[in-house]
């Protein structure tokens, strides 16, 4: 498979600019790039969701027109999306033949047999008669892979496949990927994680700002070389910013907190935590193990049982207003959907939590001035205080959110995946702000699925697994391996 | 392939050009219809303009037709701004008329100023109460307010019929001559709202409507409550995150919307009918036209008043136009064409239409 000089423009941006790459039969070829480098746009064109403005795609040396996802499947291209395309109440086998089975009646027995054969061949354990909602995220991913193989995909595109997996599950996935390549298939592995790319790929094409910068053999390069290709300059991993000075009094205390998740099952059970003034407590874990519910319980967005106390005073459950008034700041995971009202201006979004403090009337002029000051102080790139929040890029939006939350002079800050989707520069800024807040005596709870982030910032790390605290480690001695074991449900080794 | 994409930004010139163009298109299509039915288009348009705005007494008639549209337009705009689709202004207006007439009848011969205050308050309360039914259901049971508010329109209409035609209610005229032809009990002379001006008569309800529009603008633009409405209208999650009491706000907005429609009902009773006349209200369908008014004015209170005035003119011209040589069906066709083009133009202003898909790569 090859992409020849592919260009795709969206209003205001060139997402792909003359991108070239070539993946051989039996090869694992990685597409490496930062968020926004154009990886997703490219893969959407390879699977027929978008059409290139210019350039073309070749499969087996022949140019192909991929006008629709159906055409891409016919050309032997299969895709495993980051967000799975599965129907939860259906069985594995039903999902696999969905939209594909040419027969009018489902030949269940036959389908299940073929699914079993494929799972055995590539080490993809999954029960074809199980229903999707019963499966773990890792298992669902296997269903997606089998789905592509069932349709005779010769080329398999995996988009950020490890984002939802534990380190152990990821290792298992890598074995499958290599088995697929050995069977003569081509695997295109999209990622922004260097160590994964080094571990699994034969060759790498690096994308930066919509251009293909280089294609190299992983055997010939180091992670450092790839990193500098990716960002265009030399970088180290996120530097650990350790705490200076002693930890203060306990501020936020959770005792035996349990909550029900959106699916109606217990998402958080018996969590007890303490965060002290001036300390960053990291919460690590694979996505979907209760992190969101934990943040929502503390900030009053979700009802819970047990007690949440702030400096010894218990907080009313299920009242965001009470949490705000008690001095709990919240940087939610879902920036555009929760942290701001997207159509409202920056100035209005800054008022979101303090508009109740004044009288009955809004002071629009003062709001605009405050927004101007924040834009200047946090170096937000924005057209002005009246620009709608949704026009801002992720990093700039996060600066607005942080600025607002810090302006309230909180005693506790709950930060959930505060750097997801941000580029390296913005990540550094956000990390510096978090550490700075802690050094001013704020108790910071950092919930993140990104282990590097946890290791860079946390003074202590607690791991959430299936809604429980699986273990707690000192930040200075925590290693990815020890945390990975806890994240997978193992017992504390340290 | 034809696709509609939301415009990322809306150029200023479009806001002016689109309505003008829409009216031009409506005029051209209307001309074809008129020619086909043997009428002279230009002469007909001239008659419409004259009957709506320029002839003697035309503006008075237009203002009368516009008054209920101001209230129903404001009612729809107040709720739609928060993505709360109250389409029950029709029923809320009826409830308001029932409440206002009850207050007027109860006060007997009280002075006019007291009558006006009592009728406006009673109309607003009755409309708010009627709207609170879907409001409560939406806030606490997450029921779709479109369906519940719509269904309550029929309930209100039938309740009105019951009060006048099927019972000896407080609202029904029980005098001897009304035994054969049932009708509402007339209000006292002092319950007639004043009108101002000599050549152009401005109904008092219109003044109340303009005051209500100003109040609504101020409420939504300048107050804490208005801020909560705009946050909640944009993102429910953000509103919860900001500590806004979402249920209370939903209920308040629903009640506010119903109150506005209810004052419209009070104005119908006080300004024009001087009794409760359910049949007349049903025939007019003010509540539904109010939705069109709100949509065309993009929920802006000042624009609601302007659009209501234009649509009032169109309606008024319809009365003047129809006659032996000009069937009322044709009047309806022309009115429909203008509304259709105006709403279609709105779509064009907010979305751009792309014909054909992105051209495939030239190999």
pLDDT at A193: 75
Task: Let me know: does A251 contact A310? Beta carbons within 8 Å.
Answer: yes
**Residue from B235, B236, B245 to probe the interface with A (highest A Cβ count within 10 Å):** B235
pLDDT at B361: 33
Q: What part of B 234-263 touches A (C-beta under 8 Å)?
A: 234-235, 237-243, 245
- Tokens representing B71 are 């209230």
Q: Beta B195-196 vs B202-203: how paired, if at all?
A: antiparallel
* Greatest CA separation for chain B: 90
| Closest chain A residue by Cα to residue B7 | A11
Q: What part of A 285-344 touches B (C-beta under 8 Å)?
A: 299-301, 319-321, 323-325, 330, 332, 334, 337-344
pLDDT (mean) for A98-116: 78
Q: Can you tell me the distance from the alpha carbon of A93 to that of A109, in angstroms, rounded to the nearest whole number?
A: 10
- Tokens representing A365 are 């002029």
pLDDT at B354: 65
| Count of other CB atoms within 10 angstroms of residue A417 | 22
User: What is the phi/psi pair of residue A396, to 5°?
Assistant: -70, -35
Query: Length of chain A in residues, anyone?
Result: 494
Among candidates A399, A400, A390, which has minimal Cα distance to A429? Answer: A399
Helix runs in A351-389, H state only: 364-377
Q: What part of A 38-57 touches B (C-beta under 8 Å)?
A: 51-56
User: What is the phi/psi pair of residue A469, to 5°?
Assistant: -80, 110
* Cα separations in angstroms, A183 against A173, B176, B256: 15, 98, 68
| Closest chain B residue by Cα to residue A348 | B227
pLDDT at B358: 42
CB A51 to CB B358 under 8 A? yes
SS3 A390: helix
Q: Can you tell me the distance from the alpha carbon of B193 to that of A392, in angstroms, rounded to the nearest whole number?
A: 53
| Closest chain B residue by Cα to residue A322 | B243
- Tokens representing B132 are 């609170």
pLDDT at B138: 96
CB-based contact (8 Å) between B226 and chain A? yes
| Count of other CB atoms within 10 angstroms of residue A481 | 9
pLDDT at B357: 46
Q: Is the ipTM of this complex over 0.90?
A: no
Task: Let me know: does A442 contact A435? Beta carbons within 8 Å.
Answer: no
Q: Can you tell me the distance from the alpha carbon of A55 to that of B362, in angstroms, rounded to the nearest whole number?
A: 8
Concatenate the DSSP letters of all residues of B317-352 into one string: HHHHH-BTTB-HHHHHHHHHHHHHHHHHHHHHHHEE
Q: Can you tell me the distance from the alpha carbon of A353 to that of A348, in angstroms, rounded to the nearest whole number?
A: 10
Contacts of A313 (CB under 8 A, 6+ apart): A326
pLDDT at A488: 72
CB-based contact (8 Å) between B1 and chain A? no
pLDDT at A369: 93
Contacts of A339 (CB under 8 A, 6+ apart): A331, A332, A397, A401, B238, B241
Q: Can you tell me the distance from the alpha carbon of A334 to that of A299, in angstroms, rounded to the nearest whole number?
A: 14
User: Would you place residue A161 in the very low, low, confident or very high pLDDT band (cuts 50, 70, 90)?
Assistant: confident
CB-based contact (8 Å) between A428 and chain B? no
What's the gap between Cα A143 and its chain centre? 20
User: What is the phi/psi pair of residue A58, to 5°?
Assistant: -115, 140
Contacts of B134 (CB under 8 A, 6+ apart): B86, B88, B143, B145, B148, B149, B152, B254
pLDDT at A425: 75
Q: Can you tell me the distance from the alpha carbon of A319 to that of A398, in angstroms, rounded to the nearest whole number?
A: 24
pLDDT at A251: 93
Name the residue among B238, B358, B360 with its Cβ closest to that of A338: B238
| Angle in degrees, CA B96, B98, B101, rounded to 5 | 105
Name the residue among A52, A321, A358 with its Cβ closest to that of B243: A321
Q: Can you tell me the distance from the alpha carbon of B208 to that of A468, in angstroms, rounded to the nearest whole number?
A: 61
pLDDT at B338: 84
Question: Please, what sign has the CA dihedral across residues A46, A48, A51, A57?
Answer: positive
Percent of chain A with pLDDT over 70: 94
CB B360 to CB A320 under 8 A? no
What's the gap between Cα B344 and its chain centre? 19
Question: Please, what sign has the CA dihedral across residues B121, B127, B128, B133?
Answer: positive
Among candidates A96, A82, A77, A80, which has minimal Cα distance to A186? Answer: A77
Contacts of A339 in chain B (CB under 8 A): 238, 241
Among candidates B122, B98, B119, which has minimal Cα distance to B171? Answer: B98
**Residue from A50, A58, A355 to probe the interface with B (highest B Cβ count within 10 Å):** A355
pLDDT (mean) for A335-361: 90
- Tokens representing A218 are 């992983």
* Mean model confidence pLDDT for chain A: 85
Model confidence pLDDT, tens digit, residues A420-465: 777 777 888 899 999 999 999 999 999 988 788 888 899 999 999 8
CB pairs A-B closer than 8 Å = 88
SS3 B184: strand
CB-based contact (8 Å) between B361 and chain A? yes
- Tokens representing A183 are 């069977």
CB-based contact (8 Å) between B362 and chain A? yes
Question: Please, what sign has the CA dihedral across residues A111, A114, A118, A120?
Answer: positive
A329: left (phi over 0), alpha (psi -120 to 50) or beta: beta
E strand segments, A393-467: 412-416, 443-447, 460-465
Model confidence pLDDT, tens digit, residues A189-244: 988 777 788 889 999 998 887 888 888 898 888 877 777 777 665 455 566 777 77
Task: Indicate if the pLDDT at residue A163 is higher than 80.
Answer: no
| Count of other CB atoms within 10 angstroms of residue B64 | 20
pLDDT at A493: 43
SS3 B38: coil
Low-confidence ranges of chain B (pLDDT < 70): 1-10, 353-363
Please tell me the distance in Å from B174's CA to the nearest CA on chain A.
49
pLDDT at B208: 97
User: Would you place residue A98 in the very low, low, confident or very high pLDDT band (cuts 50, 70, 90)?
Assistant: confident
Task: Indicate if the pLDDT at residue A412 is higher than 90.
Answer: yes
Of A94-103, A133-142, A407-416, least confident by mean pLDDT is A94-103
| Helix or strand holding residue A328 (H, E) | strand A328-331
| Angle in degrees, CA A375, A381, A385, rounded to 5 | 45
Q: Can you tell me the distance from the alpha carbon of A90 to that of A71, in angstroms, rounded to the nearest whole number?
A: 25
Tokens 């350039």 — which residue? Answer: A55
| Helix or strand holding residue B130 (H, E) | helix B112-141
Q: Can you tell me the distance from the alpha carbon of B352 to that of B223, in angstroms, rounded to the nearest whole number?
A: 34
CB B361 to CB A52 under 8 A? yes
SS3 B82: coil
Q: Can you tell me the distance from the alpha carbon of A327 to that of A405, in angstroms, rounded to the nearest whole number?
A: 10
SS3 A469: strand
User: What is the phi/psi pair of residue A200, to 5°?
Assistant: -115, -25
Contacts of A186 (CB under 8 A, 6+ apart): A1, A23, A24, A25, A26, A27, A29, A154, A155, A156
Model confidence pLDDT, tens digit, residues A378-390: 888 888 899 999 8
CB A337 to CB B238 under 8 A? yes
Model confidence pLDDT, tens digit, residues A75-86: 888 888 877 888
């Amino acid at each position: 498979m090859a992409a020849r000089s592919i260009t795709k423009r969206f209003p205001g941006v060139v997402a792909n600019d003359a991108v070239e790459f070539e993946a051989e039969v039996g090869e694992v070829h990685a597409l490496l790039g930062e968020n926004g480098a154009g990886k997703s746009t490219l893969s959407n064109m390879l699977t027929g969701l978008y059409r290139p403005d210019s350039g073309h795609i070749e499969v087996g040396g022949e140019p192909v027109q991929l006008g629709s996802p159906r055409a891409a499947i016919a050309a032997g291209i299969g895709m495993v999306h980051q967000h799975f395309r599965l129907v939860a109440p259906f069985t594995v086998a039903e999902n696999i033949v969905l939209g594909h089975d040419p027969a009018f009646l489902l030949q269940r027995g036959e389908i299940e047999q073929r699914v079993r054969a494929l799972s055995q061949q590539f080490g993809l354990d999954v029960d074809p008669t199980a229903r999707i909602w019963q499966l773990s995220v890792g298992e669902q991913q296997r269903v997606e892979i089998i789905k592509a193989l069932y349709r005779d995909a010769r080329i398999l595109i995996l988009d950020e496949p490890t984002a939802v997996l534990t380190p152990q599950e990821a290792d298992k996935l890598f074995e499958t990927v290599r088995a697929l390549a050995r069977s003569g298939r081509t695997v295109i592995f999209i990622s922004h994680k260097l160590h994964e790319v080094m571990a699994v790929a034969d060759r790498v094409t690096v994308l930066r700002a919509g251009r293909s910068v280089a294609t190299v053999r992983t055997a010939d390069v180091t992670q450092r070389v790839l990193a500098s290709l990716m960002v265009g300059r030399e970088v180290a991993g996120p530097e650990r910013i350790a705490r200076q000075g002693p930890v203060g009094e306990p501020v936020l205390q959770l005792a035996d907190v349990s909550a029900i998740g959106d699916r109606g099952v217990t998402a958080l059970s018996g969590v007890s935590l303490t965060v002290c003034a001036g300390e960053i407590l990291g919460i690590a874990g694979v996505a979907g193990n209760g992190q969101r519910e934990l943040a929502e319980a503390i900030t009053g967005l979700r009802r819970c049982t047990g007690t949440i106390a702030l400096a010894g005073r218990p907080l009313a459950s299920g009242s965001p207003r009470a949490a705000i008034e008690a001095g709990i700041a919240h940087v939610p995971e879902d920036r555009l959907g929760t942290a701001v009202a997207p159509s409202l201006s920056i100035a209005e979004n800054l008022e979101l939590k303090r508009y109740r403090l004044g009288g009955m009337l809004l002071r629009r002029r003062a709001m605009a001035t405050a927004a101007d000051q924040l834009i200047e102080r946090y170096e937000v790139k924005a057209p002005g205080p009246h620009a709608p929040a949704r026009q801002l890029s992720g990093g700039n939006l996060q600066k607005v959110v942080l600025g607002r939350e810090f302006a309230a002079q909180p005693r506790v800050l709950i930060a959930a995946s505060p750097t997801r989707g941000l580029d390296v520069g913005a990540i550094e800024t956000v990390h510096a702000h978090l550490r700075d807040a802690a050094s001013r005596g704020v108790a910071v709870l950092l919930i993140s699925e990104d282990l590097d982030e946890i290791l860079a910032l946390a003074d202590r790390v607690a791991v959430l697994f299936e809604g429980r605290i699986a273990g707690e480690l000192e930040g200075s001695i925590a290693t990815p391996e020890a945390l990975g074991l806890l994240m997978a449900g193992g017992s504390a080794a340290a | 392939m034809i696709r509609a994409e939301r415009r990322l930004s809306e150029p200023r010139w479009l806001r002016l050009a689109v309505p003008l163009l829409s009216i031009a298109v409506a005029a051209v299509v209307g001309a074809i219809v008129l020619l086909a039915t043997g009428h002279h288009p230009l002469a007909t348009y001239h008659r419409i303009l004259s009957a709506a705005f320029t002839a003697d007494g035309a503006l008075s008639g237009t203002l009368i037709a516009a008054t209920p549209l101001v209230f129903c337009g404001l009612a729809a705009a107040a709720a739609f701004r928060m993505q709360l689709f109250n389409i029950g202004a029709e029923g809320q207006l009826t409830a308001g008329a029932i409440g206002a007439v009850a207050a007027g009848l109860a006060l007997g011969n009280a002075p006019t100023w007291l009558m006006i205050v009592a009728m406006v308050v009673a109309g607003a309360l009755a409309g708010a109460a009627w709207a609170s039914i879907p409001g409560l259901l939406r806030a606490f049971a997450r029921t779709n307010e479109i369906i519940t508010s719509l269904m309550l329109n029929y309930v209100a209409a039938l309740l009105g019929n019951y009060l006048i035609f099927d019972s000896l209610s407080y609202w029904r005229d029980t005098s001897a001559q009304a035994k054969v032809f049932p009708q509402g009990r007339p209000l006292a002379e002092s319950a007639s709202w004043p009108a101002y001006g000599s050549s152009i008569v401005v109904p008092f309800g219109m003044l109340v409507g303009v005051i209500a529009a100003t109040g609504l603008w101020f409420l939504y633009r300048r107050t804490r409550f208005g801020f909560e409405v705009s946050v909640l209208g944009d993102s429910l999650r953000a509103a919860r995150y900001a500590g806004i009491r979402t249920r209370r706000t939903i209920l308040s907005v629903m009640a506010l919307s119903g109150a506005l429609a209810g004052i419209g009902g009070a104005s119908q009773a006080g300004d024009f009918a001087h009794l409760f006349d359910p049949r007349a209200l049903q025939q007019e369908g003010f509540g539904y036209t109010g939705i069109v008014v709100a949509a065309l004015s993009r929920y802006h209170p000042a624009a609601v008043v302007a659009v209501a005035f234009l649509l009032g003119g169109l309606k008024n011209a319809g009365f003047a136009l129809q006659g032996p040589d000009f069937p009322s069906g044709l009047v309806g066709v022309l009115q429909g064409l203008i509304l259709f083009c105006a709403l279609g133009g709105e779509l064009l202003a907010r979305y751009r239409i792309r014909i054909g898909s992105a051209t495939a790569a030239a190999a």
